[in-house]
Amino acid sequence: MIWINGALLPADKARIDPRDRGFTLGDGLFETLAALDGQPLDLAAHLERMARASTVLDLPLPVEATEVATAIAQVLEANGFSKGRASLRLTLSRGVGSRGLLLPLDPKPVLVITAGAFPQIPPHLDAATVPIRRNEGSPLSRIKSLNYLDNVLAQQQAQGAGAQEALMLNNQGRIAGFARGNLFALIGETWVTPPLADGVLDGITRAKILKKAGKAGFKVSENSLDRADIELFRGLFISNSLLGCVPMARLDGREMRLDPLLIDQISGLLID
């Protein structure tokens, strides 16, 4: 069952107009989040990020946040996810508009909510640095737009290199993060993550780790990272809303440290 602008429909009955700008131009946004026992996790933070991104794109939300919460509950129940873990996706498109690139004067946004099984979380991953760059000068580098092909192609290249995750640099050659999430590296005694200005997605889990690490007394910093800094990494992790925080076992074939204490340390920051 899929929720579309107030209607809960079977998947084979749900319809998006083929003229929708989300389909024709990638004109829209999405959010992916986890749910536990019928309750979406960090929903307020995800909706706040979508609202910030919608301001960047001048794309209004068609419903209030309270209606989104109600719709999510309906979708989870209708798909049998009232118990256990599930994954949710919110997709917001600008809707149908006239041909051309200019924004329609009277947009009719479409919000779609779907639910699926929660993915299996691996104990660790291998990563490969790919040639596709994050464009730190583009506003799209810091939001989850429907134009996600850079990430898709980067992930495909990583798979071709025998890895499960793509490490992406920006146009300045600095480390931006992974195709599927943010990056945290332990350098000395400090947890370091690249700043948003380096073309980094404003990750929900990233923000949680930054906030909780400081309160827990860990050293944490938002600093630019060059490829030469990889030599200093005592640990390397990917974070996103579904994976949580997963360590990298290898980067470009090089063994990375898998210290159980470090893994417990950073993973513990995500426990509410």
Break the chain into its structural domains and give their ranges. Answer: 2-117, 125-270
Amino acid symbol at 43: L
Sequence length of the chain is: 272
Read off the pLDDT of each residue in 206-216 and give the average, rounded to a whole number.
88
CA distance 185 to 100: 43
Tokens read off for 8: 């809960």
Is the model's pTM score more than 0.75?
A: yes
Q: How many helices (H) and strands (E) does the chain have?
A: 6, 15
The yes or no reply on domain 2-117 and CATH 3.30.390.30 is no
CATH class of 125-270: alpha beta
With cut-offs at 50, 70 and 90, classify the pLDDT of residue 97.
confident
H-type alpha helices, the chain:
21-24, 43-57, 65-78, 149-160, 204-215, 260-267
Predicted confidence band of residue 270 (pLDDT cuts 50, 70, 90): confident
pLDDT of residue 210: 92
The pair of three-digit structure tokens given for residue 56, joined into one six-digit string: 């960047």
> What is the reported pLDDT for 272?
64
The answer to whether the 2-117 and 125-270 domains have the same CATH topology is no
* Contacts of residue 52, Cβ cutoff 8 Å, sequence gap at least 6: 143, 202
